[in-house]
Structure 1
Amino acid sequence: MRAWSTPSVPEVPGTGPRPVVHDTATGKPVDPTQGADRAALYVCGITPYDATHLGHAATYLAFDTLGRVWRDAGLQVQYAQNTTDVDDPLLERATRDGVDWQELAASQIDLFRRDMEALRVLPPDDYVAVTDEVDRVAEAVAYLEETGYAYTVPTPDSDGEDLYFDVLRANDVWTLGDESRLDRDTMLALSAERGGDPDRPGKRDPLDPLLWRAERQGEPSWDTEIGPGRPGWHIECSVIAGDRLGLPISVQGGGSDLVFPHHEMSAGHAAALAQQPLANAYVHTGMVAYQGTKISKSLGNLVTVRGLLDDGADPRAIRLALLSHRYSDDWEWFDGDLEDAERRLASWDAWAAARSDAEQPEGEQPAADVVARLRARVADDLDTPGAVAVVDTAIAAGTTATPELVDLVDALLGIRIG
């Protein structure tokens, strides 16, 4: 599937340090590349039933920053992202609005592309629609059934049978809780809240996740080697990540609401399929709130990228506003945040335009020092607020905005100034 156009990224002399990031699974900072010269990134994509809100944008900007920092460190980066273009929330929204689910998905994917282009997010090398991978997922589910990791559950409202992953059987290759570090009661509560069905009769364990949903009347379905139906949520990412990037990948990324069950179960599926871990590190972004409540499509308290752009916001200011918060923190968006970012952006533009071609006067803080500090901040667990502060401090100190420094702001933060 087509992604979106690639923004230009300046080449800056020298290289930055390899980034360390916070690994949810260990609770520690790690170099997820483990010293290799290649970095493989998989970030879970949208379920396309509504516009890109600021929570989505903050997540994709965080991993865009990671990719930029890897590249600045001289690494080869391979990036894959899916889009879950068939799933219950999409089907429910299409039914509610009386529209074709495929048309709804296509329209929202196109909107997402335009939002990512406006924010100058580097596109994935592989942008994969789940509907294009159904046969491949079915093959993987068939293998899990053959090897004893999957089992059938009677399905009264279908002629077929649903297939579930046996979390306890998978103990020979993976242990439930290794990625999320959660206790069982919390897992049960989150499973019920986030698309699981812990109370379904016939399951061996309440936490066993759905691998394959047998055909139901009125729902989309594909004829496959395991019968008609459609993929479960977690298995699609396991298969796409393994097929496109090879396992283990460097980073499995997404919002913190994906820690459990999605990333936990994706890791279990990958281990059962490939007999090795899904990822070296699991990296998660915090939740963004608005008016006191987490921004959510289901709650409807959306601040969308498209809405801000349609109101005349500079996309660079939106990007700067989001990067002014720690990627891993929960935080709240206030209407004044954009105004603050616009003032900061005006200051950066004036600094770059006035000084970029000037000689650096004696006595000023050398721009090379600012370059090193800027690289150090983003390499330290993607500390973009710290990087923003480095630029602010350089401006306040009267540091010359050399072409190298202006280009580095663009290369690492994705903000073209001047």
Structure 2
Amino acid sequence: MIAIVVLGMHRSGTSCLAGMLAAAGLASAGEVVRNWDNARGHHEMLDAIRLDEAVLAHSGGHWLSPPATVRWTDAHAEARDQLLRARIDGRPALIKDPRALLVLPFWRASSVAFRAVGIVRHPLAAARSLEAWRETPLASGIALWLAHNRVLEADRARHHYALVDFDAPAREMIDAVRAAFPDAGEAALAAAYEAQLVHHDADDAPEVPGLDDARALHARLLEPSRTPRRTAFPRAELAAFAQRLAARDLHSALAHARAAIALVADAAAVIVPIVTSLVRAHAVVEAEVVIAEHASRLDAGLAELLRGKVLLAAGDAATAVRHLEAACARPSPYFQARQLLPQALRGVGRHAEARAALAGLAREALYPHGPLSTLAEWSWLDGERSVALEEMQHAIDAAPLRRRGRLRARRAQWLNQQGDQHAARAELLQAIDEDPGYLRTRELLARMC
């Protein structure tokens, strides 16, 4: 058996498909990491994602900005081939990362054989999910959908592999996976697929640049007769909730929130964005009400995570710690619980534990420069100046070039405070060279002259 590579746009069912393949014993991505936007786990190999990120950066792009030409080094190619040859849990590697489509020439250049399978979702549904997930504007989401799926269309024309329709009903999707992988047991596939976690959100289309082109591409990728048949996402109720929340009519906002939650089988898909919006609007009491009213419909770990998030936002770090520790103690804890726990620990004065938890998180994070830079800030505040400088250097080393300016500028400020103006100036000059778009670096350099 050879590695399986799942190809599809973000928010398009790649995790669902990868989970079905893993459940059927066809391949494995290793330990599953759960997030609150994906309760069943992403089934992603961190090494594969970091490799795709490295190739994107080497090519002058990133996951939101596809490069014009894909370039890679011999070291990248060696790492790729090792991943494709890997055996994980005694099974072939399962490589699932939407970024792979943006660097697909890199993967196709391998001499190691692999099997590809594609998956597609209606462009508006994918873009709306991306908007809810990352606050990506709809137009940008549609452009990203086109960039990924144009590659998918061209690659399938050359290599003729199966394409799964994520908007199809459960029975059709399971049948499509079995047709592509006859060795997959139907019971295992069905058990891994949870219809209530899948939502159709392609109705009431607004005017969005590129949407007509995306619809045409979607139609070419799928059968012309194929139409979505899922229960519609409660967009109207959520829009009314957002409108009333913005007007600070919290009573009406809660009424619309409850109505939206009542319309879906997967309560978490609606409760998480509602609670997040309430926290951002400083409506902490209302957020607690939503969680309390619907806790029985949530995964226990997710309910504890949301309670901890709300309490931390309310300034009650002591109670937040208890809920976040409970969330982290659950099997396969949500990654966000592990992200928030160090902040809560620090909030109650458990500084050493907070730093240790954050250091552990950095080792597993997709973008480790984030927790590493926070760790450095905390060490500096705690008086561990030499440790902070070393940790910030680790953060810089882990960051892509376009993110290094801010980190080097901060390290330069610390060096300057310690009286090492020469080292601070050198740090700022390197920051300008690596990340010229970060303007504050020049401001700091001018002050030192």
What TM-score results when the alignment is normalised by the length of structure 2? 0.28
Identify, as 1 or 2, the structure richer in strand: 1
Identify, as 1 or 2, the structure richer in helix: 2
